[in-house]
Amino acid sequence: MKKLVLLQGIPGSGKSTFIKQSKNLEPYTLSPDVYRMQLAGLSMTEDGLMRIDQSVSNLAFKRMLEDLEYRMKNGVFTIIDATHTHSKSFKNYRGLAEKYGYDVYLLPFDVDLDTAIERNSNRAFYKQVSNEVIEKMYDNLKAFNEDTRSLEEKTGIKNIKYIEKIEDIYVKPTDVSKYDEIKVIGDVHGCYDVLQEALGELNDNTLYIFTGDMLDRGIQNKEVLNFCFEHMHDENVIFIEGNHDTHLKNYVNKTFPTGKKGNAIVPQQFKQFTLPQLLDGLNDTEKQEFFLKLKEFCSVLKDCMFISYSVEGAKTQYFFITHGGVTFPYQPIYISSIQMIKGVGPHEFDVDSAYSKTTCDFYTKRTGYDYEMPVQTIKVVTQVHGHRMSTNIDSVVDNEFLPSGSVCLEGSVETGGKLVVYTIHKDECDYEICGKLHHSHYVWRGLNTYENKVFDTDKILYFGTR
């Protein structure tokens, strides 16, 4: 999940010990010292001691930041185990956090100077640093803490927050019981007419959660995106990111993967059909306005939603909602965004049956799962997702098959199938199916045309972003 935690403290303050004792945090941690040792092993000092080589620090940080960016592209929760004792040490994270939409937190380790020096003397010989280095870092950190500016001003990182422990950033269920009902909507794929048929005019007393893939493949992408623009800041409308929505984020952030020659690798349907349709008829000023609004929409997309819904006298219901579907309800921060978006396993994998089996085994047998990984502490969490049709929607509607623990909302609406809406009422949950669309999604497979208009997609692909 898109969260970055920066540890802060002088050598001997307990940062690395905290990571090691936490067990499950080590796979999520990057440390400059590890990169220094990978680059240079140990280096002999002038007084005959073997220590971590500080002369490779610049290259170590460069490699660490490259790996951090790779993790951020995939939405992996990351901890940086470094001292961060002065404002300049935060500059490398600013652009990355904004580019990939990460929430950033600072976890301080406060310790007095004498204790730090004593602990340092008891560390593994190669990890020890001189007392002079510790004293200098102590003074730097003291100056940082005495600086009266806000944490955001001192670090230059927007919305950075202090935390006291990792559990402070755990995803907790959002209570949505104030709504009369919740509607969870499956993949829309640019099918505006059927979306209108399914929802009509939005009701303030209903919570609407879209499981992603709002665009691509259908022929009404512009209308659907205008719907998204209209409602992206509504309190009762939530958009979860799907793999096709990621194309929009890559477009506005210039983060499409690149080929060997440095050219952007853009999905053909997005480049040749969806994007030209979105920009059709806009002049240069309107295109700039569109780009800014699209960037704003991308900023509100969520990895997941974890909600609770209850009514007086009834048991509280819990729902974990993603686009792609997962196979076990671990604490969401430990699940990468890419797995929430693309789902666990290949596209044809039956994630619903897998989720039902793993959760049933865990809650009844208490065997077979990673106890060192935090699990959502709620006893029963129903999963809801789109992306892949791992259950037969027709049989669900006919009550021939009711999924246990995991609900699939993919109905292939863009190929003349159905838009699936899962409605959670005060006393029950049910499916609503909206009728077929009489058009094909194969339009994009043809020439670079839309309504007999030809577009130079190479020129419009990065309009306003160069």
For 374-427, strand residue ranges (E) read 382-385, 406-408, 419-424
How many Å apart are CA 36 and CA 43, to the nearest integer? 10
Q: Do domains 3-169 and 174-442 have the same CATH topology?
A: no
Half-sphere exposure of 110 (CA within 13 A, CB side): 7
pLDDT digits (tens, 9 = 90+) for 260-315: 888 889 999 999 999 999 999 999 999 999 999 999 999 999 999 999 998 776 77
Q: Which residue has the higher pLDDT, 199 or 461?
A: 199
pTM for the predicted model, two decimal places: 0.87
Proportion of the chain in helix, strand, coil states, percent, rounded to 5: 40, 15, 40
The answer, yes or no, to whether residue 86 has pLDDT greater than 50, is yes
The answer, yes or no, to whether residue 458 has pLDDT greater than 60, is no
The answer, yes or no, to whether residue 443 has pLDDT greater than 70, is no
The answer, yes or no, to whether residue 99 has pLDDT greater than 50, is yes
Range with top average pLDDT, 3-17, 365-379, 412-426: 3-17
- Identify the band that residue 438 occupies on the pLDDT scale cut at 50, 70 and 90: very low
Residue 366: the pLDDT is 56
DSSP 90: G
Sorted by where each begins, the domain ranges of the chain are: 3-169, 174-442
- CATH class entry, domain 174-442: alpha beta
How many Å apart are CA 384 and CA 408, to the nearest integer? 6
Residue 365: the pLDDT is 62
The answer, yes or no, to whether residue 460 has pLDDT greater than 50, is no
| Rg from Cα positions in the chain | 25
Computed from CA positions of residues 461, 188, 72, 92, in that sequence, does the dihedral angle turn out positive or negative? positive
Which residues touch 433 (CB under 8 Å, ≥6 apart)? Answer: 393, 397, 411, 418, 419, 420, 421
Which residues touch 90 (CB under 8 Å, ≥6 apart)? Answer: 6, 84, 154, 155, 156, 157
Which residues touch 185 (CB under 8 Å, ≥6 apart)? Answer: 195, 198, 199, 208, 209, 210, 211, 409, 419, 420, 421
In 3D space, the residue among 210, 205, 256 whose CA is nearest the CA of residue 232 turns out to be: 210
Beta-bridge partner residues of 7? 107
Give percent above pLDDT 70 in the chain.
84
For the chain, the average pLDDT equals 86
How many Å apart are CA 151 and CA 142, to the nearest integer? 14
Q: Which CATH architecture does the domain made up of 3-169 adopt?
A: 3-Layer(aba) Sandwich (3.40)
Residue 455: the pLDDT is 34
Residue 432: the pLDDT is 64
Mean pLDDT of 61-67: 97
pLDDT digits (tens, 9 = 90+) for 357-397: 888 777 666 555 554 567 666 667 899 999 987 654 444 44
- Identify the band that residue 430 occupies on the pLDDT scale cut at 50, 70 and 90: low
Q: Which residue has the higher pLDDT, 67 or 262?
A: 67
As separate numbers, helices (DSSP H) first and strands (DSSP E) second, the chain gives 17, 19
Residue 449: the pLDDT is 33
Residue 415: the pLDDT is 83
Mean pLDDT of 418-436: 72
pLDDT digits (tens, 9 = 90+) for 179-220: 999 999 999 999 999 999 999 999 999 999 999 999 999 889
Window from 37-46, 222-231, 378-387 with minimum mean pLDDT: 378-387
DSSP 271: I
The answer, yes or no, to whether residue 104 has pLDDT greater than 60, is yes
Give percent above pLDDT 90 in the chain.
68
